[in-house]
Amino acid sequence: MKRIAVFASGQGTNLEAILEAVKSGGISGEVALVISDQEKAQALQRAQRWGVKALFINPKEYKNREQYDQVLVDQLKADKIDLVVLAGFMRLLTPLFVRAFPLKIMNIHPSLLPAFPGLEGVEQALAYGVKVSGCTVHFIDEGLDTGPVILQEAVPVIQEDTIETLHQRIHASEYRLYPTAIDLFCRDKLKVEGRRCLIID
């Protein structure tokens, strides 16, 4: 069974959806570790309620991003982690980290990549006036939201939408899509060829 680590900086609502999916059998893996860069992140409290090992690793204790990321890599290897899942983790990972776990780091982004990468994807979509937004699960590479796309789900933008209402509907999609992508990884159903991520039988 694949061992999953979830990185989160905030409330951990995607973490909750992942833990629920593990419990219901929707993910054939186990969340073995939750790490946060924020001491008071609700994600850590959620993990503790579920009986999952939860660690606050303080970036301020390290000289630079690479030193911090090396500590993260060492922790993940000590815990024999197979997949790293970013769930609202508000730090950019360095190439050092990405190279330690090639095609083993997933992220979910609130837009249909490659549209509106980076911060505030929902705000960017509304400002641009698109009629359809959504969310994307992708592997992390050394660029910003540029890794191979695993799954996407479209969310219509309605005329009355605000940032908050569109966020809410995209979140609902995320809670379905992320566990599905994680389960595909755990069952060895994903194969990357160039930029394409294929789902295999």
pLDDT in tens, 25-40: 999 999 999 999 999 9
| β pairing state of 196-199 and 190-193 | antiparallel
Q: What is the CATH number of the domain that holds 118?
A: 3.40.50.170
For residue 38, the model assigns a pLDDT of: 97
Does 49 score more than 90 pLDDT?
yes
Question: Residue 100 is part of which domain span?
Answer: 2-199
Q: How many domains does the chain have?
A: 1
Q: Please determine, for residue 85, whether its predicted confidence score (pLDDT) is greater than 90.
A: yes
Over range 77-87, report the average pLDDT: 98
pLDDT score recorded for residue 9: 97
Per-residue pLDDT, averaged over 151-177, amounts to: 97
**DSSP structural state of residue 59:** G
Active site residue 109: yes
CA–CA separation, 54 vs 32, rounded Å? 9
Give the three-class secondary structure for 146: coil
pLDDT over 90 (residue 176): yes
Query: Which of 147, 15, 8 is CA-nearest to residue 90?
Result: 8
Q: How many CB atoms lie within 10 A of CB 102?
A: 11
Q: pLDDT tier at 60 (50, 70, 90 boundaries)?
A: very high
> Which one of 109, 138, 167, 171 is the catalytic residue?
109
Q: What share of the chain is helix, strand, coil (3-state, %, to 5)?
A: 35, 25, 40
